[in-house]
Amino acid sequence: MVLAAAVVSFLSPAATVGVRARHGAEEQKVSPFAVPAIPPKDAAAALTKHGSGRYLLLDVRPPWEREKAWVRGSLHVPVYVEDTGADPITLLKKWVHFGYVGLWTGQRFTTINPGFVSEVEKVVPSKEEKLLVACGEGLRSTVAVRKLIGGGYRNLALLAGGFNRAKEEDFTEVEGESKLRYATVGGVSWFFLQLLLVLRAVV
């Protein structure tokens, strides 16, 4: 367990956040502000409220996840982008990442998006706007919220558990070839998922 955590920590800051989140619910408290976590079943109501109570949905997943499935009308600014570095240390990390994560999940090796806050400012100029920040599992959105708080945004909320926990009835206006909750699945895991879906349909 310690070795696995060390490897994950070696790979990327995002992975380190994931390890901490699994050991408690304190990641919901993005210091120094308490950020509400809205479950997927309540998200539609939050996005369709009238007046000042309405949230905008900010999707912070990388492009290769979003292109599989996304909520119509949502904003998109990735908090992590693909790491294209070719120095020896980065290449070593990519090799380890592929063996531990990439081959099984299809996830690419990423790094923090240095222009994340400035890109959000272009699509959401008002720092008073209410933003519901969402990713696949709820970990990257925590990182995004921290960045946004540092950039002056205050009216923020997290999609609890991310899109992976969303049911079909939670977001009715979804585009793309996949279901929202399966958009993070790739690599070898994707083939196992297809087999599982086929077996479920047959049984």
Catalytic residues: 135
- For residues 135 and 163, the answer to whether their CB atoms sit within 8 Å is yes
What is the C-alpha end-to-end distance of the chain, expressed in Å? Answer: 37
DSSP 127: T
Upstream peptide bond of 114 is cis (omega within 30 degrees of 0)? no
Contacts of 92 (CB under 8 A, 6+ apart): none
Sign of the dihedral through C-alpha 34, 35, 39, 43 = positive
Amino acid at 118: S
Q: Is 125 exposed, middle or buried (0-12, 13-18, 19+ CB in 10 A)?
A: exposed
